[in-house]
Amino acid sequence: MAPSILIVGATGNTGRSVAKTLPKLLNSSNTLSGYRLIALTRSLESPAARQLAELPGVEVVEKNWVEITSDWLREHEVARAFIAAHNEPNQFAEESTFHVAALNAGIKYVVRISTTAANVRPDCQAYYPRQHWAIEQLLDSPEFSGLQWTSLQPNVFSPFYLSTAAELIKKYRETGKQDTLRLMASRDAPVGIIDPDEVGVFAAHLLSQDDPTVHNHAKYVLNGPEDITGQQTVDLVEQHIGTQIKEVIYKDVSFVDMLYEFKFAPTGQSKNVVLSIKNAPETAWEGKCSASTTSREVLDLAAPKRTPADVLKTLLDV
């Protein structure tokens, strides 16, 4: 068998575009044109997995990534890997186990998905950015010198950020009635929200580099091509419905309570830990997450192009 590139989270937000973008990039590579592409899924029968299986040059394999071992990686001759892990409270334990396996299996290069750059620090009040910080510290340690890696720190994903706006527009079109528009955004702070597909495209460009050494130990900040404020989101909604919004709640994080109640409480997760997610948007509200923070390397390799207006239109067309 030929060496392979593994995509962990191939049916997720960013992994799908990695799988779609990589085959063409590998075909034009000087050193990687013969590499196989393995897209991991927990179910071969899922619609997303079926779509990936139709892509030329992509082998879809059914396996839960948290069960990957060094032996499995050697068996599949994995030379490079992409990983977009979950953000649940046990992320560090499970993702670090993957990286230890990758190190011991002799994998040469890993591209991973982190989170909003302004939050990736040890004192962030939200729990999950601290996990990403800890993973980056682990990879940066001397013990991991044999594994090259790049950590991508994307801003909040635009489909999620604009989901409540899209829902209001759809309901208004169906019923002619308005609900309260609840936005995670503050009224005036500019935020460079990004389409996750474009994060995956950039990751694919990194994984297809003949020599990724220049990107080793790099932490790249990714934003969309332009900022949007809460007020500008309201303006977009009003353009679509042709009338003024009656009531807006900015800085709304009530979705976290529902997330805890329906997903985490039944499994006994710490309420205190999960509700700390409410603190995650604070850096955006403080103006620290604008498009101006995008890393130069992102703009050079695969500059994001999809604007908030583009993403909202896609959400409405689904």
Interval 186-200 mean pLDDT: 98
**Complete domains list, the chain, with CATH:** 4-155+196-223+290-304 (3.40.50.720), 159-189+226-285 (no CATH)
**Angstrom distance (rounded) from CA 18 to CA 203:** 7
**Angstrom distance (rounded) from CA 178 to CA 311:** 21
Query: What pLDDT does 30 receive?
Result: 84
**Angstrom distance (rounded) from CA 305 to CA 318:** 20
Asked if residue 318 has pLDDT above 70, the reply is no
- 276-285 as b/e, with b when 16 or more CB fall inside 10 Å? bbbbbbbbbb
Query: What pLDDT does 117 receive?
Result: 98
pLDDT per position as a tens digit, 283-293: 999 999 999 99
Asked if residue 70 has pLDDT above 80, the reply is yes
Query: What pLDDT does 56 receive?
Result: 87
**Angstrom distance (rounded) from CA 296 to CA 286:** 23
H/E stretch holding 37 reads strand 36-41
pLDDT per position as a tens digit, 11-36: 999 999 999 999 999 998 889 989 99
Cβ atoms of residues 66 and 94 within 8 Å = yes
Asked if residue 131 has pLDDT above 80, the reply is yes
Asked if residue 205 has pLDDT above 90, the reply is yes
* Structure token digits, residue 12: 């997720």
Residue 155 burial (10 A CB sphere; 0-12, 13-18, 19+): buried
CA torsion angle 280 282 287 292 (round to 10):
-10
pLDDT per position as a tens digit, 143-170: 999 999 999 999 999 999 999 999 999 9
| pTM score of the predicted model | 0.96
Left, alpha or beta for 250 (phi > 0: left; psi -120 to 50: alpha)? beta
Asked if residue 243 has pLDDT above 80, the reply is yes
